[in-house]
Structures are given as C-alpha cells and as structure tokens.
Structure 1
Amino acid sequence: MEPRVEQVNAGKAAIFDLDGTLLDSLGVWKKVDEIFLARRGFEVPDDYMQAIAPLQFREVAAYTIERFGLDETEDALMQEWDELAAYQYTHEVQTKRGAAEYLTWLKRSGAKLAVATTLSAVLRKPALVHVGLWGLFDEVVGVETVAHGKGEPDIYFRAAELVGIEPAHCTVFEDLLPAIRSAKRAGMQAYGVYDKSSKMLWNQIEQEADGTIFDFTQAPRELV
C-alpha cells in the first residue's frame, strides 16, 4: 500500500528548468559546442555558455552567427545542434540526484508541476522519457512559445497560467542567475540549483535566490 501523503502543497505549483537543473546536462552541451565550433576552426570561449544560457534557441543561433562571423542561417545552426545533441538526450543524459523522488513526492502531495525550458522541443520529450519523468508534469512550456528568453519573466507567467496557479504560489527551480531574477520579478519564490556551468556566479545566486540546493535531496518539503 502506498504511504499516505498529506495535501500540504495543494493549490501550489513548482516550475522546473531542465538543462542544469533537473538534467545534469552540462557535458552534453559542452561537447556539442566543442564539435560545432571546432568544425569552423574555433575553440569555445570561456564566457560562451554563460552568454547563451538564458536565450531562446533561435537567439542563441543569431548570437553565435554574429559572434563568430558565420555565413550560415539560424535554422542551419539549430538543426546541426539538435542532431549533435539528440543521441545524448535520448540515451545518455541523467537527472540531478534526488530529482525523480522529489517530483514524485510533490505530485502526490497535490502540487501542480511544470517545466519551463529553453531546451529545443525535439529534445525535451525524449530526454524526459529517457529519465522517466515525462508523465509527472502537468505542463511543459518551451521558451519558443513566449516573446522573450529567460532574461524576462514571460515563461514563468505562462507556466503559472497553464497550471492555474497564481504566481505568488509558484516556486521556481533554476540554475541560472538571470532566470532566478526573472522568476522573482514574476512574484515567485526562486530556488537556485547548483550546476558547474554557474559556479562562477554561485555566491551571487546564494545572495539573490530565496534558497539554494546542491541537489534535490535538499529541496524544500513545503512550497509557498
């Protein structure tokens, strides 16, 4: 018999980023960036991943074309990146420690669950299916469906709207400082999730987030 779970989170929602938050995917994109830029005679600059992390996928393509002076289309770049990343997300990527258990607990407690991600639409479902999380979410929202990237709160407002929970009762989990700031601007509680891609900004994340965790074994057991 399943143990009883009190409905302590009914009427509340948790919104999760994927890359670097639920998914331990730093190695995937590091490899993609290395292969992609090496094909064009470049090394990956130290600040590249931080610069592109909050952007929409097409914005990343536009930024990359401009930064490296590439004579290619945004669509061509996005297709190549998807092809390079597809195998890793479908077969290799793993979750951060405790993620599956925490999501299952939240679901059973009555909370609404949503994903708010910059990850390409062709990658996010295969990744979530691979790690066994696909069926847990009430909504999966891609940044391509809103006007701005995660430097603005659009995607968090959209996720809250879709799950039917007021922003004040939403808790966001993110690994990126600009995303944490946007979630707080949306009036939501924001937790910083440690990822090596953001380690240079971790002290600042600790100062600005409502709470921080190194993995989901440390995640809050009650939402706002």
Structure 2
Amino acid sequence: MQELIRRNAPAAAPVSRSVRRRVLWKRDMGENMNQFRAVLFDMDGVLINTEPLHFRMWREVFHNRGVEIDYNGYKDCIGTTEEFLRELIWKNYGADFRKDETLKEDAMVIKKRLIAEEGFPKMPGVEEMLKNLYEAGFLLAIASSSSVSFIELAMDYIGVKQYFHVINSGENVAHSKPAPDIYLNTAERLGVKPEECVVLEDSENGSIAAVSAGMVCVGLLNPDSGNQNLERAKVVIRELGEFTPKLIGRLNEI
C-alpha cells in the first residue's frame, strides 16, 4: 500500500533555477546576508557611462554663454545636481548663471542631440549584475541626481528598468549629494533601515552621501568619472562583474 501511495502521489513541482540558486546562496552566505536587504545605485558612471557626455554638454552650454570651462573646474560637481553646478561655475569662473532660467532648457537640447548621436553608453556587465542581485532577493533602487524622466528614459533604453523597486531623483529631496537626503529618502521608500542598505557609487560626493546616511558604500573605479576620492568606500571594485551577492555577503568581514 505504501508503495502504491508513493507511486501515485503527484510529482513535486519543479524548482526554478533562480529559486534554487537563491536557496544555495543563502545557505553559503549564512547570517551575513541577513543584514543587507537593499542595494542602492547611483546611475551616471555606475549603470550608464554618461559622465563624459555630461561634461561635453555643459562645456557647450557655457561656451555658448561666453565661458570656457575645463574638466578641473567641472569635476567637483560629478554626482551632484544642476543647482550645485551653477554655484560651482560662480565659484570657479566668476560667472553667475544661478538665475539663468534658460540654462536647463539649453542643456536638455544639447543632451538630446548627443544621445541621439551616441545613445546611452551602457556600463559593461550591468544587466547580468542586476539580474543576479534581483534573483538573490535584494530590493534594488536607483538614487541619482539626474531627473526622474532622464533616469527612466535611460533605464528603458538599456533594458534594465524592470529590476528596480524604486527609482528616485535628487529632484525629490531638499539637498543634493554629498548630503545624505537622497539615500535616506530612497531607503524610506523601500521600507528598509539605512544599515540594511549597500550603495554602489563612483564619485566622492556620492560616497560621502552614502556613508553619511549610515549605509555601507562600495566604490566603483570608473576612469571616465575622473580622479574620484573613494576612500570612504568599504571596498573599491574596477568592474560591475565584481559586485555580486557573494561580495555583499562578505562586506562585514572586510
């Protein structure tokens, strides 16, 4: 009778490869993986390699206004907002565009032209990295200084928008990076505590913001983002393929 019951019992539902991988990863990582529930990403220079494009855009914008900017006078604004850049140009070049109402509109015209010519430069390995983290059970979010419309356009273009639970912009907070506002607000929207978040950043301003928010920061060394000081990051990687669930599970040991 027991043999008959066993033979006629319905077969167990097959376990998907992604679920099986998640179970094995949790077993291998032990208790460490329980600390981190969410991974927050800067976008420019991390998911898409747009910093060179942004510099060319702003150089043309200010050239059209009679000001020639160089990279050294621009680089401190990487990872921040347009308002921060206006203040930086005033400080470094003595040119006051802080109330220039057409600046943003002119910049968007140039940006759209450059994107139409070049597309969005996707960072190598970005889709595989996001897929692995998503399947490992992390909540994923973007916390970028770019506008919401630009973030969504870029993520749609490179085909990874579906991996993110929250897309957040510096437009939604009072203070831009290096203030921690964007990261604290994103954690709140995800429903997690700051100490449960890992941040991937390529800029000094972004790493300051992440650490000030009480989060663990991993730095991405992107040569196109300039000579950024990433000393506040717990670990620095050179390519997205290194940013894995296994690395996150070991951050407390580093």
TM-score (norm 1): 0.87
In the TM superposition, residue 33 of structure 1 has moved relative to its aligned partner by 2.0
Alignment correspondent of 2:172: 145
Moved more, 41-50 or 12-21: 41-50
RMSD of Structure 2 on Structure 1 (CA) = 2.4
Q: Is the 8 A contact 1:82 1:123 kept in 2?
A: no
SS of 1:19's equivalent? coil
- Aligned-partner Cα distance in 2 for 1:83–1:76: 11
- 1:154 maps to a residue whose letter is D
Alignment correspondent of 1:165: 192
- Aligned-partner Cα distance in 1 for 2:114–2:155: 12
**Alignment CA distance shift 1:75-1:140 (3 Å):** farther
- Aligned-partner Cα distance in 1 for 2:130–2:143: 15
Moved more, 37-46 or 187-196: 37-46
In the TM superposition, residue 220 of structure 1 has moved relative to its aligned partner by 3.2
Alignment correspondent of 1:81: 107
In the TM superposition, residue 46 of structure 1 has moved relative to its aligned partner by 3.0
Q: Is the 8 A contact 1:160 1:166 kept in 2?
A: yes
**What does 1:1-224 correspond to in 2, within 5 Å?**
2-3=17-18, 4-6=20-22, 8=26, 12-64=37-89, 67-70=93-96, 73-89=99-115, 92-201=119-228, 204-205=229-230, 207-222=231-246, 223=248
- Aligned-partner Cα distance in 2 for 1:180–1:217: 20
- Aligned-partner Cα distance in 2 for 1:6–1:133: 20
Q: Is the 8 A contact 2:52 2:225 kept in 1?
A: no
- Percentage of matched positions with identical amino acids: 22
In the TM superposition, residue 212 of structure 1 has moved relative to its aligned partner by 1.1
Query: What's the CA shift string for 1:110-167, capped at 9, x where partnerless?
Result: 1100000011233211111101111211111111111111111111111111111111
**Higher gyration radius (CA):** 2
- Aligned-partner Cα distance in 1 for 2:106–2:17: 45
* More relative contact order, 1 or 2 (CA 8 Å, 6+ apart): 1
SS of 1:101's equivalent? helix
SS of 2:45's equivalent? coil
Moved more, 15-24 or 26-35: 26-35
TM-score (norm 2): 0.78
**Alignment CA distance shift 1:129-1:87 (3 Å):** farther
Aligned residues: 221
Structure 1 stretches of 5 or more lacking a match? Answer: none
Q: Is the 8 A contact 1:191 1:211 kept in 2?
A: yes
- Aligned-partner Cα distance in 1 for 2:134–2:76: 34
- Aligned-partner Cα distance in 2 for 1:103–1:83: 31
- Which contiguous aligned blocks of 4+ residues in structure 1 show a shift greater than 6 angstroms? none
